């Protein structure tokens, strides 16, 4: 497989050894998710894409990318080392459920596994990266609650069919929805993904948004271009 990197404005990402390639979901979360504060955690970092985007958006933050996959972490480390943010990003190979850091995080980002057994992709590595049995929501969410600072924000991207159950699980663990952005491929397509941000403090109002990624001619929509302007060439 070619190791031609995916080039962004301030960094490049090689993804030939990672099961999960650079894709729209990761770019959306990296551009939209909350990255305020001094300590940021990217759970399931894969190529390191979201960690790199977080470091670009917040020049004062220290970022940790964590992943259970050795090949992914090796490639993430290489991508970080070739970036201008190498001094502020660390990549750790560990199961996040066993992760016991000395700090609590101001921002946590996660593009979590969501395939079930009847929707698994064919490739074994991709299946592991996306099979929610490897990191079920029921285990991810309480772990996030313990890792998140009191004023911290937790941002995720999930398939639309999981919105209600995910929000319900977060509520059970004291995480309240503060922002939601529904994602459509085009205006005529159904909602495909949801970008969600949670906090430990309950807000009176949840910020609601919707974005269409493509125009009818297949070009990027104005909203998508504006969201990703700092990244896409």
**pLDDT tens column, 173-198:** 999 999 999 999 999 999 999 999 99
Share of the chain above pLDDT 70, in %: 90
Question: Alpha helices of the chain — where are they, by DSSP H?
Answer: 24-32, 49-57, 70-81, 124-130, 137-147, 163-172, 222-227
Strand partners, 209: 181
pLDDT reported for residue 113: 80
User: Using CA of residue 69, residue 74, residue 80, residue 82, what is the dihedral sign?
Assistant: negative
Domains and their CATH numbers in the chain = 6-227 (3.40.50.150)
Per-residue pLDDT at 169 exceeds 90: yes
The alpha-carbon radius of gyration of the chain (Å, integer) is: 17
| 136-168 per-position pLDDT tens digit | 999 999 999 999 999 999 999 999 999 999 999
Which phi and psi (to 5°) does residue 203 adopt?
Answer: -95, 150
Q: CA triplet 192, 110, 204: central angle to 5 degrees?
A: 75
| 108-125 per-position pLDDT tens digit | 999 998 644 444 444 544
What DSSP designation does 222 have?
A: H
Q: How far is CA 153 from CA 54, 62, 75, 135, 141, in A?
A: 13, 15, 27, 20, 13
> pTM of this prediction?
0.91
């Amino acid at each position: 497989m070619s190791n031609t990197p995916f080039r962004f404005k301030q960094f490049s990402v090689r993804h030939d050894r990672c099961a999960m390639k650079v894709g729209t979901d990761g770019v959306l979360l990296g551009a939209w998710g909350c990255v305020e504060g001094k300590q940021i955690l990217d759970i399931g970092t894969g190529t390191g894409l979201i960690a790199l985007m977080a470091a670009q958006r917040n020049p004062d933050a220290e970022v940790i990318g964590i992943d259970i996959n050795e090949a992914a972490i090796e490639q993430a480390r290489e991508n970080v080392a070739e970036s201008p943010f190498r001094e502020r990003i660390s990549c750790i190979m560990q199961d996040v459920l066993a992760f016991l850091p000395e700090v609590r995080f101001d921002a946590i980002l996660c593009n979590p596994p969501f395939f079930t057994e009847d929707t698994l992709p064919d490739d074994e590595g991709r299946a592991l990266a996306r099979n929610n049995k490897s990191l079920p929501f029921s285990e991810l969410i309480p772990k996030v609650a313990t890792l998140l600072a009191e004023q911290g924000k937790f941002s995720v991207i999930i398939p639309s069919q999981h919105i209600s159950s995910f929000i319900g699980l977060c509520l059970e663990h004291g995480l309240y929805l503060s922002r939601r952005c529904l994602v459509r491929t085009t205006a005529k397509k159904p909602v495909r993904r949801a970008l969600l941000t949670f906090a430990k403090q309950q807000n009176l109002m949840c910020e609601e948004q919707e974005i269409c990624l493509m125009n009818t001619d297949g070009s990027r929509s104005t909203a998508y271009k504006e969201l990703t302007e700092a990244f896409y060439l």
